[in-house]
Amino acid sequence: MSAVTIPRYGGPEVLSFQDLPVPRPGAEDLLVRVKAAGVNRADCLQRAGLYPMPPGVGSLIPGLELAGEVAAVGDGVIRFKPGDRVFGLVAEGAYAEYACIDHGLAVPMPDGWDFVTAASVTETFCTANETVFELGGLAASDSILIHAGASGVGTAAVQMAKHLGATVLFTAGSRAKLDAVLQLGADHGILYKSFDFVEEVFRYTAGAGVDVVEDFIGAAYLMRNLSVLKEKGRLILVGLMGGHSAEFNMSAMLRKRLAILGFTMRAQSVLEKRAIISRFKERWLPALSDSSIEPVISATFPLEKAAEAHTVMERNENTGKLVLTMT
């Protein structure tokens, strides 16, 4: 099979297109003929050698989510059969013509979906559900600040929060991205390159602040994020694009009884991921199936142009998801 591999760490140019053996499914796995694979920031970090792999997982073929047709099933699988159209999470291996996926992490594709749509859903909407709702406890009466609102997770979180009825503020780096996210229903966008997001949050909320902050930046935003939270507010850390370490004044946390919670998907066990998939299917798959909310797809690339997709992501040129397609 054709596959994209990481022969050494470095920039997008290190990605290599190789012919490799088709993997063999384990007892609880599906072998999927991959039709599309989502591109995620974690893939770029893995390629650069900045994303530690979980125990037992190699780093040869990147890719955390896929959509395709079941080619074979393991001996312990009863819910799926060859020919079924599925999408879901993998720990690695989606940038290839074939990949194995645990049967509990695979979801039947709704009628009317194409493979590009399906490959755009799992990582972003599961991450948004776990962070904004499971950890952040966002309620309809709450307000939230979503950084990187035009990212894949950002565009998913904006739609999900508005579907619930919450007030949504977000940051973006360009006017085009700001306008695109406002079209998804967000209440207020902040051009972070031109305006101080702290001042803008307090201006829009008449000094009240927000209940939840969804953050992908990390150290550079830590104290400013805490400053815009209301009493008992929740800061959810999903990324560290602005650094790993920061000076931390704990007085705001104590005074306002704040919580800081962290999340990463890949490091969790298969059983934990199965629970994440189950929560996603129960709460959000109906709304996705009837198009009440939808993945935002920025661009597609053929598998052999995976390096171009990584370049676009690292330059922050995308609004929504980037997807690789297989012929």
What are the boundaries of each domain within the chain? 2-121+266-325, 124-262
Q: Cα(260)–Cα(159) distance, rounded to whole angstroms?
A: 23
Q: What SS3 state is found at 243?
A: coil
Q: Tens of pLDDT along the chain (327 residues)?
A: 999 999 999 999 999 999 999 999 999 999 999 999 999 999 999 999 988 777 777 668 999 999 999 999 999 999 999 999 999 999 999 999 999 999 999 999 999 999 999 999 999 999 999 999 999 999 999 999 999 999 999 999 999 999 999 999 999 999 999 999 999 999 999 999 999 999 999 999 999 999 999 999 988 899 999 999 999 999 999 988 887 888 888 888 999 999 999 999 988 999 999 999 999 999 999 999 999 999 999 999 999 999 999 999 999 999 999 999 997
What does the DSSP 8-state code read for residue 319? S
Rg of the chain in Å (alpha carbons): 20
Q: Is the pTM above the cut of 0.85?
A: yes
Residue 214 tokens, joined? 């969804």
Asked if 169 and 146 count as a contact pair (C-beta separation under 8 A), the reply is yes
Q: Cα(58)–Cα(50) distance, rounded to whole angstroms?
A: 14
Residue 323 tokens, joined? 């997807």
CATH architecture of the domain covering 2-121+266-325: Alpha-Beta Complex (3.90)
Q: Cα(132)–Cα(111) distance, rounded to whole angstroms?
A: 28
Strands 106-108 and 85-89: antiparallel
CATH architecture of the domain covering 124-262: 3-Layer(aba) Sandwich (3.40)
DSSP-H helix ranges across 93-248: 115-119, 122-128, 152-164, 175-182, 197-204, 222-227
Same fold, 2-121+266-325 and 124-262: no
Residue 130: phi and psi, rounded to 5, are -65, -35
Q: Cα(53)–Cα(56) distance, rounded to whole angstroms?
A: 8
Q: Cα(324)–Cα(298) distance, rounded to whole angstroms?
A: 11
pLDDT digits (tens, 9 = 90+) for 261-292: 999 998 899 999 999 999 999 999 999 999 99
Smallest Cα–Cα separation from 19: which of 323, 325, 303?
A: 303
Residue 102: phi and psi, rounded to 5, are -60, 135
Residue 183 tokens, joined? 């079209």
Q: Cα(125)–Cα(63) distance, rounded to whole angstroms?
A: 16
Smallest Cα–Cα separation from 213: which of 260, 179, 246?
A: 260
